Amino acid sequence: MRSATHTSLAGRLNTLTVDGGVDGDGAVLRPRGDLVHGCADTLARSLARLPDGVHRVDLDMSGVAFMDTAGLQFLEVLDTWARRRRARVSATGWTEQPRRVLETAGLDPDDPLHGPGTRRETVPSVVVLERTQQLDKLRTEVEQLRRAIASRPVIDQARGVLMATHACSPDQAWDVLREASQLSNTKLRTVAAVVAAGAGGGGPVPSPELRRALRTAIDRCLN
């Protein structure tokens, strides 16, 4: 069984597919692609195709490398289906960026459907406000990631420069670029272009604010 949706992310065609199989009263579904606009509908179609005798569904999320807030709707569809069918469901194996989204939304990335943050009791207004602020921050980060994907070649070059210069990991290099972008209020692509061009000499001279931001980001992320 397979369902799919096509979405445009930063000018590129990305496809979410959901493959899987049924074994007795259980099913395993394997989403592959990005959890962006349309992903909830794709999951709903896959769940609708399951036989009536299925009472357990396990989602292997290891094939999803990127999600924005539409991924929360994806989980709501799964939770609603489980309650309606009185079935047991799980969604495990989340990769790094989706895990950060779940954490920011106040969910347990190891068990976002049943762990802390999923209880439906009334919560104090201060908690609601905090969650709203977290989601606003998340939306900003997701938009930065979208722009980063569009600018990936120059960002990859900049990460390579930082990795070679500071003997750091790809993730640490990414953190430096993002931190410097936020601290200096400079577009991530611009920060990456300055770092990449600077390695060859003769590149654009960064502003004093960006130089300070890069030094601070390196100190915070690499030390």
Closest CA to 113 of 36, 57, 35, 191: 57
Confidence label for 200 from pLDDT (cuts 50, 70 and 90): low
Confidence label for 119 from pLDDT (cuts 50, 70 and 90): very low
* Domains of the chain, earliest start first: 1-149 (3.30.750.24), 151-222 (no CATH)
Q: What is the pTM of this model?
A: 0.53
The reported pLDDT for the residue numbered 128 is: 45
For the chain, how big is the Rg over CA atoms in Å?
Answer: 20
Among 125-139, 152-166, 187-201, which range has the highest average pLDDT?
A: 152-166
The reported pLDDT for the residue numbered 116 is: 64
The values of phi and psi at residue 35, to 5°, are -90, 85
Q: Which residue has the higher pLDDT, 81 or 145?
A: 81
The reported pLDDT for the residue numbered 26 is: 95
Mean pLDDT of the chain: 80
pLDDT digits over 56-86, tens only?
Answer: 999 999 999 888 888 888 998 999 999 999 9
pLDDT digits over 201-216, tens only?
Answer: 556 677 888 889 899 9
Q: CB of 192 within 8 A of CB of 198?
A: no
Report, as an integer, the average pLDDT of 46-58: 94
Q: H-helix or E-strand containing 130?
A: helix 125-150
